[in-house]
Structure 1
Amino acid sequence: MTFESVRSKLKCFLIGEGLWDGVLEACDPKRADGEIASHVHDLLETRRLFPRFAGNDVKSAGASERFRLEGNKAFLNRNDLKAIRDYTSAVGHAPTGSEQLALALGNRSAATFAMGEYRHCLKDTELALSMGYPDSLKYKLLDRKGRSLLQLGSCTEAAEALKSALEYLPKAGFSSEKEAKIKDQINRTLFTCGENNIISEKVANNDCKLPTYKVESSKTIESASCLIDINYSSEMGRHIVATRDIEPGDVLAIERPYVSVLLPNSYTTHCFNCKTRCHSLIPCKTCTRVFFCSSDCLTSCSHTSHKVECSLLPALLAMGCNKMELLAVRVLVEVLKQGAQFDKFISNFEEIDKADDVMKGYKDGVYSSGDYASTHHLEGNKLKRKPYDLFSRAIIASCIVEAIDRCTDFFKKCEIDSDKTRLAKAIAGGLTLRYLQSMPCNAHEISEMCITHRTTKTDIESNEIGGAVYPLLSLINHSCDPNVVRHSYCGDAVVLTAIQVIKAGDQIFDNYGYHHAVHSIDERRCHLGSQYYFSCQCIACTNDWPLYNDLPDKVPTYFSGADVSRVEKSSERFVKLLKDILNGDTENKLPLLYEHLSLLHNNINRPWKQYSECQEAIKQCLSLKANHYIIHKT
């Protein structure tokens, strides 16, 4: 059963028994999360409404073969990305050390070679060869390995691989005529090894690196530059302000998440641990759906979060867990150290929970994204929620805790006696309910820009690959006219960049997904009110700015003393820049865009369409420096 079906059944029972009103009273927002979660858990338990939790994934040669054949179909149809996903699923389902695993790796290497991803191809060919790849097919794999090494400039190693391919060619069982033809092809490739040509990969995938600050780092915020600080007011709560004048392009923060999760649709293309794209993923040794970019990531994750999630994930996904629920589970697993630190958490809880409004999340005078306290105190708007909302979330929390209990050994260390185990489950339920309130108000997406170069045009699409908890970014308030933008880098890191002139003392504003140029004021207020519990009073809402297509673009209203001539010349240059950017040419464009945006900001009254166009151009250029994946199609 899914969470929705459990909720529906429980509600019907309670209404039928005349208990519904009493249960809603028990879910009063003023009650502690643990009390609400325990009450709902008991209701589900006594009425035996917990789902039948999905069992562990089992590796299967037959399932691996089915995915491999699907991959073959996609590969023959030149749908290389789908082929890679199917072959990766085949890798995940193949029993460890089996021929099916070697075959799946070999097939995947053909798809990555076809895409010009020679490093991924090389990784798979070497792994397949080490796993008993059939002798009758080895010539093909060794030939592919040699050609990959040749493309990467390793000519000596390429020649060795190609010579080995020739040695294995007779084992293929071809007719003498066909064998001679293949031998001739390999020898011609072998001949080019002496030319010592170095040919780089066709595709520069995920070729991004974190930017650096132009100024020194903050001494009081772990993940920020000295350009920003955390302030507090009774009206705004904790929020971020500029400590000095900020220009467009200034990097304000570079933050690693407290936790992050990969979304299921990215399991076969990205590393479950570091969230980077990888087309030569290696599988979890136990489950079938989780993959890693390296043995280091596999080992790291297997000793931490995946130690619990390996056997838990099937149940979570079957119940309907999405990004928010998966993040809540990941926070729980992280803070309790896979169930090993209940006692330590209980002893420290009062100190963590009692922090005053100003110092929430601080440790030794520093706001630390890596310390649990910063995540614990993220706003969940509990007192603004309705009892039914908390009832629904408590059902999810209870089902998650019960799944953890039945599918993992998370609570086994607490089994000194049944009372202690029950206490541990109550604590876990209360914490999970807390996170299920704070995640929708604070979680951020991990994104990747996909750029498809075709013969006639270039398509650019932003894809959500995961979700993360960034305690510093979560303190930034919303505006429908934000003055910063964030991009995902190197997997799950996030970089915050200014896209307006921001004066010292001004507040930093992010956008929570509802922008003045895209959504009407009614849409914005409706969504922001239902998810974040506030009514936006930003300049775009206060002055009811029009949507993008209706933004003024004829004659700007200049400020008194504006440098009109300079603005007009800069605008002419911007029109040419924008055309280049839309055609895919973003090289060295950012400094000119930043200069033009500053000029508009200081001389023209908003709203003004070119201002918005310049911001969007900056965002596009920045996105191509962040997580991105490039595909070349004819």
Structure 2
Amino acid sequence: MSIDSLYEGAIAKLTAQNKIVPISLKLLTLKTNEDRVLYVYEILENLKAFPAIVDVAKNECVSAYYRNLGNKCFQNSDHYKAWQFYNLSLLHAPCNTESYALAISNRSAVLYSLKKYNESINDIEKVLSLNYPANLKEKLTKRKESCQKLSGGNVMKEVDDCSFLCLQDPQTPRFPSASSKLEVIFTEEMGRHVIAKSDIKVGEVLVQEEPYFKLLLKSQYLFACSYCLSRDSNLFPCSNCCFALYCSNECKDKAWSDYHMTECKLMATIIEMQFTKLEFLALRTVIKCRNDHTDWSALFKTVEDADNNSDTEYRGHMKIDDKWVYDSQYYSSIHTLASNIDKRSVSDIFQKSVTAAVFLYMLIEKTDFLNGDNKDETDKIKKLVGGLLLHHTMTSPTNMHGISTNTANIEGNFVDEFSIASAPYAFLSLINHSCAPNVVRFSKLGTGQMFLFALRPIKKGMQLFDNYGAHHAIEDLYTRIHHLKFQYKFTCHCEACINNWPQYLFTRPAKNLPRKLKIQKEKLLDGNAIDKLQKADRATAEKIFKPLCELAENLESYAPCTELADCQESLKQCLEIFFGVVPYGYSQLVDWKAVPPKC
């Protein structure tokens, strides 16, 4: 049963009982998220609508099933799919069994075929320390020797250096992730937002922010560390569940203490019920905020203080050494992100309350997360957690950010967007939307660290505008209005909407463009340069990045025009290359479900 089918089933039963109207009216009278969730919890309980909790244990038979699928793919030279199946085999193998060793051994063969020789050696050395069949060790030893010859004996991993793209300006103590060129202000019309304290040029790094946590997408479970997002080839599994892989014991331990100790028993149900990333983000936020505190009393105090500060200039701030700080590492900054509850319909609030109530039920039934020292304390904790779950199911859609890069298509051009994870960023969430943004976000591949770049020149006093997905170049005005109103609960009044800027295909060349600028654009972005950028050629990106920034500055007054649009898209392509792109094979995903087929 999915969460959507559970919701639809509950609505059908309530409709048949003629209870929709009275429940809606009752829900409108409730003043707190805690009361809303507990009310809906009782409704679902009376309907007997709560789902069965799914258990998926490690199993050698299932491990062998996935290993055999991997073998078939490997025989057909479908190496990336074989890699995924071997990781599935590893996830389902009981620790320190022959199945566990065989999964890693077979993965080493895939890595060898993909010319990842150092990574193959790492897997081989791991296997040789485990319970591996003695008669197969000779094959592994020969593979290791071959890897050493082909790699030149160098077992050091290469690390991309993006230091030249890091934040260069001093950071402010109050907003440690942001440049001192930025200022946060509040107005009734725009809410909290960010403006420039001085002139900003195209290409400047304005924010360098680590998120509160990273939520790896299910599509990436088999290729990346569940905690840090590292795309390490030698991942190893959680000792208990069949859904989390890690690049190191440090990441495994941090994930366990931050959230996985509670999530571990729920992962199969979360995946089986097809909760969206936005819903899962809400659950993880609540689990992590408790584990960030020594006890429940400390969390109650943080929430109380944050709510009391919500109407002051220190909204979302934490007092550290007598100084107010707004930063993603503190829950207060995440807690106070806008939920837009006053703009939500009663049906939307009910649906999100159903999600929160189901999460609450799972925590009660399967974990000791809500346990207090006595019944009164447990009831108080239950009320708090229910309210926070609903609160963050509403903050997630309007505040959380996707982590993505580009991946190659079958022709080898890196032009397809590739989603990896989602995460909460406190400072980046303060930046308002424009359909013609003047800033753009990028994250370094294998991390959750997000960088904000100036895409257009920003004068002192001007507001920074990000793009929430509705861009004038790719969507018409009507589509953008509907998209933004549905998810973000506002009507956009940016220059592209007010002036009805055309989509890219209908954009015209600039009028009266000086010949010097026309020649500069044609020289920088000739067919050869564009082709190399699409092939993710780093040397080309490094060569033309700064000249493109200067060109974008000079073309700004001609917006909208094809020359500026081409320049901005090429700048973004350069940044994608600098921060890491993903080869074609990684996007060829195998289909797998939380509950594996019966052996």
TM > 0.5 fold call: yes
Partner of 2:465: 509
Partner SS state of residue 365, structure 1: strand
* Pairing 1:572–2:522 present: yes
1:165-180 to 2 correspondence within 5 Å? none
Give the Å deviation of 1:319. 2.2
Using the alignment, how far apart are the partners of 1:134 and 1:88 within structure 2?
A: 19
Offset from partner CA, 1:477-525 (integer Å, 9 cap, x none): 0000011111111421111111111111110000000100000000000
Give the Å deviation of 1:232. 0.8
* Pairing 1:235–2:189 present: yes
1:51-130 to 2 correspondence within 5 Å? 51-55=51-55, 57-130=56-129
User: Residue 627 and residue 492 in structure 1: after superposition, are their counterparts in 2 closer, same or farther (change >3 A)?
Assistant: farther
Partner SS state of residue 516, structure 1: coil
Report the AA paired with residue 139 of structure 2: K
Report the AA paired with residue 262 of structure 1: L
Offset from partner CA, 1:407-431 (integer Å, 9 cap, x none): 112123x1x3333322211211110
Match 1:625 to one of 571, 575, 578: 578
Preserved CA contact (<8 Å) 1:520 1:547: yes
Preserved CA contact (<8 Å) 2:70 2:85: yes
Larger mean CA deviation between 436-445 and 143-152 belongs to 143-152
Give the Å deviation of 1:104. 0.8
Partner SS state of residue 264, structure 2: helix
Give the Å deviation of 1:84. 0.7
Partner of 1:541: 497
Larger mean CA deviation between 333-342 and 485-494 belongs to 333-342
Give the Å deviation of 1:392. 0.7
Superposition CA RMSD, Å: 2.1
Partner of 1:28: 28
Partner of 2:567: 614
Larger Rg: 1
Report the AA paired with residue 151 of structure 1: L
Using the alignment, how far apart are the partners of 1:291 and 1:353 within structure 2?
A: 37
User: Residue 632 and residue 319 in structure 1: after superposition, are their counterparts in 2 closer, same or farther (change >3 A)?
Assistant: closer
* Pairing 1:556–2:511 present: yes
Give the Å deviation of 1:583. 4.8
Partner SS state of residue 84, structure 2: helix
Preserved CA contact (<8 Å) 1:26 1:39: no
Preserved CA contact (<8 Å) 1:231 1:240: yes
Give the Å deviation of 1:199. 10
User: Residue 89 and residue 61 in structure 1: after superposition, are their counterparts in 2 closer, same or farther (change >3 A)?
Assistant: same
User: Residue 237 and residue 557 in structure 1: after superposition, are their counterparts in 2 closer, same or farther (change >3 A)?
Assistant: farther
Preserved CA contact (<8 Å) 1:268 1:291: yes
Offset from partner CA, 1:603-624 (integer Å, 9 cap, x none): x422101101111111111011
* Pairing 1:315–2:269 present: yes
Larger mean CA deviation between 23-32 and 276-285 belongs to 23-32
Match 1:472 to one of 427, 437, 441: 427
User: Residue 119 and residue 3 in structure 1: after superposition, are their counterparts in 2 closer, same or farther (change >3 A)?
Assistant: same
Give the Å deviation of 1:30. 6.6
Structure 2 unaligned blocks of 5 or more:
587-599
Partner of 1:442: 399
Give the Å deviation of 1:304. 2.3
Partner of 2:37: 37
Using the alignment, how far apart are the partners of 1:214 and 1:463 within structure 2?
A: 28
Report the AA paired with residue 373 of structure 1: S
Using the alignment, how far apart are the partners of 1:467 and 1:598 within structure 2?
A: 32
Offset from partner CA, 1:215-256 (integer Å, 9 cap, x none): 212232121111212111111000011111111110000111
Using the alignment, how far apart are the partners of 2:334 and 2:51 within structure 1?
A: 30
1:295-306 to 2 correspondence within 5 Å? 295-306=249-260
Partner of 1:368: 327
Using the alignment, how far apart are the partners of 1:581 and 1:259 within structure 2?
A: 32
Structure 1 unaligned blocks of 5 or more:
155-197, 559-563
Match 1:597 to one of 545, 548, 552: 552
* Pairing 1:249–2:197 present: no
Tell me the number of residue pairs that the alignment of Structure 1 and Structure 2 aligns: 574
Report the AA paired with residue 478 of structure 1: H
Match 1:383 to one of 335, 342, 345: 342
Partner of 2:246: 292
Using the alignment, how far apart are the partners of 2:457 and 2:190 within structure 1?
A: 22
Partner of 1:411: 370
Report the AA paired with residue 465 of structure 2: F
* Pairing 1:14–2:14 present: yes
Give the Å deviation of 1:631. 5.7
Give the Å deviation of 1:26. 2.4
Using the alignment, how far apart are the partners of 1:573 and 1:227 within structure 2?
A: 33
Using the alignment, how far apart are the partners of 2:30 and 2:476 within structure 1?
A: 35
Using the alignment, how far apart are the partners of 2:294 and 2:421 within structure 1?
A: 27
* Pairing 1:350–2:300 present: no
Using the alignment, how far apart are the partners of 2:199 and 2:177 within structure 1?
A: 19
Calculate the TM-score normalised by the size of structure 1: 0.87
Partner of 2:533: 581
Partner SS state of residue 624, structure 1: helix
Report the AA paired with residue 28 of structure 2: D
Using the alignment, how far apart are the partners of 1:572 and 1:318 within structure 2?
A: 52
Preserved CA contact (<8 Å) 1:30 1:383: no
The percentage of aligned residue pairs carrying the same residue is 30
Calculate the TM-score normalised by the size of structure 2: 0.92
